[in-house]
Structure 1
Amino acid sequence: MIRLRIQVAHWPRRSLVLTDTPRPDCGNCEGLGGIEHPYGDHNGEYAGDEWEPCGCWNENRRWFLMPLPRRPRWLRHRDAGRDPWGPGGYSDEPPF
């Protein structure tokens, strides 16, 4: 059974895609879509993870729905780096 959801894809262009999701009641991956296998180096220290996809879903199964519009170039560069409220969206000016 396919469990579909809408997702935003960013390659090659921002677009909406319909994609499959892992089975939430899967006994192997517990709904995560795969099994993580951490491994260590020759000293026994953590060196990373390997991901084994579960058979309950196919992460490559997706259908293109529609491209998302791009912002005009003049609008993209106009507000870059200027935030009138400062970092975090708050002003440190008194209200009077």
Structure 2
Amino acid sequence: MRLRIQLTTWPRRSLVLTDTPHPDCPRCEGEGGTAYDYGDHETGEYAGTEWDPCECWDENRRWLLMPLPRPPRWLRRNRHRDPWGPVGYSDEPPF
């Protein structure tokens, strides 16, 4: 088992300890699985990507280390506003 710390955001922000894929796995080459594209049967166009997880890794194996505190309500409410005004590009010369 190869463990790492990961930040999750659902259902609440927290730090979890997760398993990682085996880096020398001959089946997935350390990726944790194989992704393959598939197409629509009638048109033959791209319809999505499937993910087959490898046996060297269990993506559901995780342990909660600690929940992170929520930001204060006033900060969540004003997060979308910029205190210094709009930021963007100007066509005015800098002098």
TM-score, L = length of structure 2 = 0.82
Structure 2 residue matching 1:47: 3-state secondary structure = strand
Large movers: runs of 4+ above 6 Å: 93-96
CA–CA separation in structure 2 for the residues paired with 1:70 and 1:46: 40
How many angstroms does 1:6 deviate by? Answer: 0.2
Q: Pairwise mapping of residues 7-46 of structure 1 onto structure 2 (< 5 A)? A: 7-41=6-40, 42-46=42-46
Label 1:23 to 1:83 Cα distance change in 2 as closer, same or farther (>3 A).
farther
Q: CA deviation at 1:79?
A: 4.1
1:75 Cα deviation (Å)? 1.9
CA RMSD between the two structures: 2.1
Secondary structure of residue in 2 paired with 1:4: strand
* Secondary structure of residue in 1 paired with 2:77: helix
Q: Report the 3-state secondary structure (helix = DSSP H, G, I; strand = E; otherwise coil) of the residue aligned with 1:30.
A: coil
In 2, the alpha carbon distance for the partners of 1:33 and 1:55 equals 8
Greater per-residue helix proportion:
1
How many residue pairs get aligned? The number is 92
Helix, strand or coil: the match of 1:6?
strand
Q: Can you give the 5+ residue segments of structure 2 that lack an aligned partner in the other structure?
A: none
Cα deviation, residue 43, structure 1: 2.1
Mapped partners of 2:37, 2:27: distance in 1? 17
CA separation of 1:31/1:8 partners in 2, compared to 1, >3 Å: closer, same or farther? same
The percentage of aligned residue pairs carrying the same residue is: 64
What is the TM-score normalised by the length of structure 1?
Answer: 0.82
